[in-house]
Amino acid sequence: MSATEQSFDYAAADFNAVYTGGELLEGASIKVVPWDIGEPQPVVVALEEQGRFHGAVLDIGCGPGDNAVFLARRGHRVTAIDAASAAVEQARLRAGDLPVEFAVADATDLAGYEGRFDSVLDSALFHTLPRPARPLYAAALHRVTRPGARLSVLCFADVPGGMPAPLSVSGDELSTTLTEAGWRITSMDLAEYAGVATGMEKFFERTGRRPELDARGRTRLPVWKVLADRAGGAGPVAGGAAA
């Protein structure tokens, strides 16, 4: 990691602040929500069209709620959770009268949701968690799902043109973390995640990144698209070995 990439304290990111006009990272001049493109992620739309979601669906780290709203409009029973209360407030407004259950919760715990979900969507949450919290998160997802559940993860990939470390994650770390928590990976490919470019200039300048833009002026960032099935058994205890 270069000295430039160490210039921001990602662990101090204030997700509530950025949803209310504040700064996401001190010194980065990010006062927009970088992942709020005003519509569902194109790759999430594609996953739904492929039949990836069924039964009770958990959108974990739902942000402003566009993925959850899309899935609900497609007829899915959706629970959408985020640790940032301001994000959940915005998501509720976007959902309107749609029957989406929203909640503020810690993704590494998820107490009270045990054995409830058949499908999980993680659209860019995994890489925001500190490394020690990632195994706890993967294990929590196993606890709150039923046998045969499906997990779909979009996570910033440590490949050329990607986000700086520690926001980008190696394929080995991601696959190992999920496998040890009781998830059986069925596919792992690179995909693109659409983001907001305007207002991100200073951040990209200081990190030495120049992401590609699509025809609509949105960033095109490489992510791991991981599809996994829940392995049998009750799963590991937090921080323990796989079941």
Give the class (CATH, top level) of 33-230. alpha beta
Residue recorded with tokens 């005003």: 38
Q: Is 142 helix (H, G, I), strand (E, B) or coil?
A: helix
Q: What was the pLDDT predicted at 175?
A: 98
- Asked if residues 218 and 19 have their Cβ atoms less than 8 Å apart, the reply is no
Q: Which residue(s) pair with 153 in the sheet?
A: 122, 226
Angle, nearest 10°, between helix axes 171-180 and 134-143? 40
Q: Do the strands 183-195 and 219-230 form a parallel or antiparallel pair, or are they unpaired?
A: antiparallel
Per-domain residue ranges for the chain?
A: 33-230
Decide: residue 57, CB within 10 A, 0-12 exposed, 13-18 middle, 19+ buried. Answer: buried
Q: What was the pLDDT predicted at 7?
A: 61
Name the phi and psi angles at 101, rounded to 5: -90, 115
> Cβ contacts of residue 129 below 8 Å, gap of 6+?
107, 108, 137
The one-digit pLDDT tens for each residue of the chain (243 residues) are 343 444 666 666 778 888 888 778 676 667 788 899 999 999 999 999 999 999 999 999 999 999 999 999 999 999 999 999 999 999 999 999 999 999 999 999 999 999 999 999 999 999 999 999 999 999 999 999 999 999 999 999 999 888 888 889 999 999 999 999 999 999 999 999 999 888 777 777 777 777 888 888 888 999 999 999 999 754 444 333 332
The half-sphere exposure of 208 on its side-chain side, counting CA atoms within 13 A, is 10
Q: Do the strands 117-123 and 183-195 form a parallel or antiparallel pair, or are they unpaired?
A: unpaired
The pTM score is: 0.89
